[in-house]
Amino acid sequence: MFLLVGVALAVMLPKYYRSRMRQTAEKMLAELSYQKAFGKYTLVFTEQGIASSTPTGESNSVWNAVGHVSITPDYLFIFLAGPQGFIIPRAQVQESTIAEVKAYVEAHIPTKPTPAV
């Protein structure tokens, strides 16, 4: 019984966690204070990683820090390690560019090593 519950949690928990992160990010974006706090930002995608420039500062994230990329009807989410990431509103970027960015990021996310058996 405990083994079955453990397996079910191991399968469902990551999906639930990603869903909750996406919902929280969308809720945060709906708040007016988001634009005041962060304003406009610029992302530059290079072979080394993602460089970002915001009203609060600049940062560089290497590709190893990128967990996954997700697309919704309203946003492109690039999730980094932990509760960090980049949110790109699809209404502000051409659809072809969104698709290119998603493909580029997915191609640069390092694959997880398979465990040795």
Tens-place pLDDT, residues 4-52: 888 888 888 888 888 888 888 777 777 666 665 566 788 999 999 999 9
What residue ranges define each of the domains in the chain, with the CATH number in brackets? 2-108 (2.30.29)
Q: Report pLDDT digits (tens) over 56-99.
A: 788 899 999 998 899 999 999 999 987 788 888 888 889 889 99
The SS3 of residue 43 is strand
| Angle, vertex CA 79, rays to CA 78 and CA 83, nearest 5 | 140
Q: Are 20 and 10 in contact (CB under 8 A)?
A: no
Query: Residue 86 pairs with which residues in a beta bridge?
Result: 78
3-state SS, residue 32: helix
- Tabulate helix, strand, coil % of the chain (nearest 5): 50, 30, 25
